[in-house]
Chains A and B, each alone.
Chain A
Amino acid sequence: MQIAVLSGKGGTGKTLLSVNLSYLADNATYVDCDVEEPNGLLYYKLKEKQTEDVKIKIPVINHEECIGCEKCTNFCKFNALAYILDKVRVFKDLCHSCGGCKLVCPTGAISEVDKVVGYVHSGSMFDTKIYSGEMIVGVESGVPIIDNLLKKVEDSDRLVFVDSPPGNGCSVMESIKDADYCLLIAEPTIFGLHNLNMVYKLAKVFDKKIGLVINKYTDNNMINNYAKENNIKIVGTIPMDLELGKLNSEGEIVASNSKYKPIFNDILKTIKKELVL
Chain B
Amino acid sequence: MPLFKKIGGKIMIIALPTKTSGEKSFISEQFGRCNFFYIYDTETETGEVYINANKDGQGGVGVKSSEFILKKGANILIAPRVGEKSMRILKSTDLKIYKSTDKIVKENIASFLNGELKEL
In the assembled complex, A73 has its CB within 8 A of some CB on chain B = yes
Judging by beta carbons under 8 Å apart, are B67 and A91 in contact?
no
CB contacts (< 8 Å) of A80 on chain B: these are: 60, 63
Interface flags for B44-83 (1: CB within 8 Å of A; 0: not) read: 0000000000100111110110110011000000000000
Chain B positions within 8 Å of A82 at CB level: 63-64, 66-67, 89
A53-83: contact bitstring with B at CB < 8 Å (1 yes, 0 no)? 0000000000000000000010001111011
A85 touches B63 (CB 8 A): no
The range of chain A's interface size is: 10 to 19
C-alpha spacing A184/B59, complex, angstroms: 33
List residues of A (17-32) whose CB comes within 8 Å of B's CBs. Answer: none
A80→B92 CA distance, assembly (Å)? 17
Which among B58, B63, B93 has the greatest number of chain A C-beta atoms within 10 A?
B63
Residues in A lying within 8 Å of B, measured CB to CB? 73, 77-80, 82-85, 89, 91, 93-94, 140
Chain B residues with CB under 8 Å of chain A are: 54, 57-61, 63-64, 66-67, 70-71, 85, 89, 92-93
29 CB-based A-B contacts, threshold 8 Å: A73-B67, A77-B58, A78-B59, A78-B60, A79-B57, A79-B58, A79-B60, A79-B61, A80-B63, A82-B64, A82-B66, A82-B67, A82-B89, A83-B71, A84-B66, A84-B67, A84-B70, A84-B89, A84-B92, A85-B70, A85-B92, A85-B93, A89-B89, A91-B60, A91-B63, A94-B59, A94-B60, A94-B63, A140-B59
8 new A-B pairs (CB below 8 Å) besides A82-B67, A84-B89, A140-B59? A77-B58, A79-B58, A79-B59, A79-B63, A84-B66, A84-B67, A89-B89, A94-B60
